[in-house]
Amino acid sequence: MELKDFSNIKSIKVNCSFCGNEMECPEDMLEKSKKHMCYKCFITNEPSDEEVKGVHVDIPMDKMPQTVASGMADEMVDETFPRLWHERKNELRDISKKDLAREMFGAGVYLGVRAFMESMGQIEEDGQATKSDNEKSKK
């Protein structure tokens, strides 16, 4: 995953296509986006992936981690739960609600920690590659 530096990107004032409020759009996204959506409309309307396709959503940087994590979690549940239920429904039906909640909570924590560890490993690999490239360019 590539982390983009947003500090030097020029923003243009545009209007939200859904409520008309003024918002900012990075200049390079003006041509790529068919519509613009402010954060308030994004949170209020909870659009589907299909509805957001081709839409620039103005998510404040301080809300980005929470918004991305929530979206990824919802997507993982939508993709994973049907398979899990199909494979283990008889077993899951026979356990108490408390044990079921504990099992599902534990599975969620495990997946979150695993994803975090994998992303940290990727960041470390990217850092090592950058360090190696910098050392080569100094020679």
pLDDT in tens, 44-56: 988 887 888 889 9
pLDDT at position 131:
56
Q: Is 50 exceeded by the pLDDT of residue 3?
A: no
pLDDT at position 2:
43
Q: Looking at 5-9, 52-56, 67-71, 76-80, which range is the least confident one?
A: 5-9
The band of 1, judged by pLDDT with boundaries at 50, 70 and 90, is very low
Share of the chain above pLDDT 90, in %: 24
11-15/35-38 β-pairing: unpaired
pLDDT at position 5:
57
Residue type at 122? Q
Q: Once rounded to an integer, what is the mean pLDDT over residues 23-27?
A: 90
What DSSP letter does each residue of 124-138 carry, written as one string? HHHHHHHHHHHHHHH
Q: Over the stretch 78-108, which tens digit does the pLDDT of each residue have?
A: 888 888 889 888 988 899 999 999 988 998 8
Alpha helices in 60-96 (DSSP H): 64-93
Which helix or strand (DSSP H or E) is residue 38 part of? strand 35-38
- Report d(CA 117, CA 4) in Å as an integer: 21
Where exactly are the structural domains of the chain? 11-59, 65-138
Cα R_g (the chain), whole angstroms: 21
Q: Which residue has the higher pLDDT, 32 or 127?
A: 32
pLDDT, the chain, mean:
83
